[in-house]
Structure 1
Amino acid sequence: MTISTEFVAGVVAGGVLGWIFDHFLGTKPWGLVVFLMLGFVTGVYNVMRVSGFTRRRSGPDDGKTR
């Protein structure tokens, strides 16, 4: 449930910001299109972050001493 909420929130926030941008600057539909795409990308990133997909992998120079 949390993962789907993160995705939907990103897309909805992008859509609302795009609509506001278009409404005040008169750039219909470009602001909505651009901000919806940014919202989609943000939603995908949030889903990856919440699911642990973007966790940092430990490597040879991860700061740990041997």
Structure 2
Amino acid sequence: GEIYAIENYCPHAIQTLTDGEVFGSMIKCKKHGAVFSLVDGRCIGNERIGNLKKYSASVVDGAVIVKL
């Protein structure tokens, strides 16, 4: 499949998304329920929160490479 890399902090309350619920190509912030696209970092349903940075990611020889 696909591999995506986005910023790890919800801009709403600087909450990490590490513990967020992933469903399909989206992740939900555990603290406030904001939903973000894993594909492009876009906030879904509440644009006032803001979008996440998206990073280029690939797999090379079994290692995930993220270009910051």
- In terms of fraction of residues, the more strand-rich structure is 2
Give the shorter-chain TM-score range. under 0.3
**Bigger radius of gyration:** 1
Give the structure, 1 or 2, with the largest relative contact order (CA under 8 Å, sep 6 or more): 1
TM-score, normalised with respect to structure 2:
0.24
TM-score with structure 1 setting the length: 0.24
